[in-house]
Structure 1
Amino acid sequence: MTTMLTPSACEGGMVTEAVVQLTSLRVQHRQLTTFAAMLERAGQYVEAAAQWQQAELHAPGEQSRLWCEARQARCLRMAPQAAHSYGQASRQRTQV
């Protein structure tokens, strides 16, 4: 959700370019993190890691950037495990 300041809320009655850019950055960051989380929940860890990396580039602050780094690292750790466990499951089915 984008929040725009009313002219009376800003100094001089005008919305500054910096406020608009920051709002846009936050919206982009929210969209990227939402999509990354959706991919992560679906078990698409490699794709999710790439989305988290993009979200990190658009992070509006240090805390958001660190969160994106942590999620990306988790996805990269989970990616080989997910592929490995899937491969084991299919081998077990064919051996039975």
Structure 2
Amino acid sequence: MSNLDPLPDDLGTAGAELALSDNLTTAKFLGHTYELTVLTVPEDGNWLDTARRALSQTSFLILDAPAQAQLAVADLPEAADAILLNASARDRDLRHTA
């Protein structure tokens, strides 16, 4: 990819859709099904309300969020057994154990 190529605004969603499509090929043979639901939070929106809504449907969340938002979501009681992946935060502190 050239540095002159613009990055699409939906890079995270496009990547997740591509991964889903790729995984569904193998999933067919294993009898698995996967689906992707995208919930968008506006800049001034409430991360926690959206996370609660998502966690009521699944315990697997892929976030495209600032590190502080991910930490706030992780502190929700609904997220106690959830797996949170942050696709865009470069903050290494998220990967350390306390």
TM normalised by structure 2 equals 0.33
Question: Which entry has the higher C-alpha Rg, 1 or 2?
Answer: 1
Q: Quick check: which one's strand share is greater? A: 2
TM normalised by structure 1 equals 0.33
